[in-house]
Amino acid sequence: MSEWKARRFWKASSVRPADDGFEVALDDRPLRTPGKLPLILPTSGLAAAVAAEWDAQADVIDPYTMPLTRAANSAVEKVAPQFAGVAGMLAEYGGTDLLSYRADQPAELARRQAEAWDPLIDWAATELRAPLRITYGVIPVRQDEQSLARLHQHLAELDVFGLTALHDLVTLPGSLILGLAVIRGRIDAETAFRICRIDEDFQAERWGQDDEAADAAESRRVAMLVAERLWHLSRRG
């Protein structure tokens, strides 16, 4: 038996004002989440980008080609009802942040990590007022509770779509500092992806690239770029 697939039923999409934001209409039918909730978007720019994803669909709808739509659905259905829990989960990454855990050997790997990560540790201490301690090897380090509380507060001050965008920018690289650096304009998502892979890239230089691992890494890179785009689109327009 062949798998049922949703098919295109509309001729064109449009964007129109809605309560507290904008909505996408397929012909004259307002777009809703899979759970049938109204999909209200914070900016016309994000609504237009979501509408473009729907307009790009051919006869059969492919959700995997609509990353902004899927992210918006998650914002409404998953993040909004449990905002505090999501913020708390992401805040926990500050306690085990990738940038705090360094290699002591080989010397070249340690140098690369210090060169790329030290400026962001310094930025967190000054810009975020959240200095983090550094450790070497696998020895865990306990972070200052005031620093962790300040990082948590930065997350609590975000809106639903901002926190949704930040999710992949934190969980995929394993660093709260990298995620916050992207949404605050300190670095872009492409740089964050490169920085978080210093160890993997170093090992690949020495032992060769694994194709399966490379494909997985590329998927993470694309997801981080989508998250960055969601952040910017949900801020303006």
pLDDT of residue 200: 94
Strands (E), the chain: 13-18, 21-26, 29-30, 101-102, 135-136
- Residue 58 — very low, low, confident or very high, per pLDDT cuts 50/70/90? confident
Rounded percentage of the chain residues whose pLDDT exceeds 90: 83
56 and 127 in a single domain? The answer is no
Residue 75 counted as domain residue: no
Sequence-ordered list of residues with C-beta below 8 angstroms from that of 56, at least 6 positions apart, any chain: 65
Residue 74 counted as domain residue: no
Domain boundary among 65, 93, 116: 65
41 vs 47: CA distance, rounded Å: 6
37 and 133 in a single domain? The answer is no
Give the DSSP letter of residue 106: S
Residue 158 counted as domain residue: yes
10 Å CB burial of residue 168 (0-12, 13-18, 19+) is: buried
Residue 30 counted as domain residue: yes
Residue 76 counted as domain residue: no
190 and 113 in a single domain? The answer is yes
57 and 160 in a single domain? The answer is no
Cβ pair 48, 101 in contact under 8 A: no
| 60 pLDDT higher than 90 | no
176 and 125 in a single domain? The answer is yes
133 and 192 in a single domain? The answer is yes
37 and 116 in a single domain? The answer is no
Residue 71 counted as domain residue: no
176 vs 234: CA distance, rounded Å: 20
124 and 206 in a single domain? The answer is yes
189 and 120 in a single domain? The answer is yes
Q: Which pair of tokens denotes residue 152?
A: 């948590």
Q: Buried (b) or exposed (e) across 66-80, using 16+ Cβ within 10 A?
A: bbbbbbbbbbbebbb
Q: Which pair of tokens denotes residue 174?
A: 């394993």
Identify the CATH number of the domain in which residue 157 sits.
1.10.3580.10
Identify the CATH number of the domain in which residue 45 sits.
3.30.2180.10
- As a whole number, mean pLDDT of residues 159-177 equals 98
Domain boundary among 65, 92, 107: 65
| 2 pLDDT higher than 80 | no
**Which domain, by its residues, includes 155?**
82-233
Q: Please give the biggest Cα pair distance in the chain.
A: 62
- Residue 11 — very low, low, confident or very high, per pLDDT cuts 50/70/90? confident
Q: pLDDT averaged over the chain? A: 94
Instruction: For 73-124, write each residue's pLDDT tens digit.
Output: 999 999 999 999 999 999 999 999 999 999 999 999 999 999 999 999 999 9
Domain boundary among 14, 34, 65: 65
- As a whole number, mean pLDDT of residues 168-197 equals 98
- Residue 4 — very low, low, confident or very high, per pLDDT cuts 50/70/90? very low
Residue 70 counted as domain residue: no
Sequence-ordered list of residues with C-beta below 8 angstroms from that of 100, at least 6 positions apart, any chain: 121, 132, 133, 134, 135, 141, 143
Q: Number of structural domains, the chain?
A: 2
225 and 109 in a single domain? The answer is yes
Between 149 and 7, residue with greater pLDDT: 149
86 and 175 in a single domain? The answer is yes
- Residue 5 — very low, low, confident or very high, per pLDDT cuts 50/70/90? low
Q: Which pair of tokens denotes residue 33?
A: 């989440």
101 and 176 in a single domain? The answer is yes
- Residue 237 — very low, low, confident or very high, per pLDDT cuts 50/70/90? low
47 vs 121: CA distance, rounded Å: 35
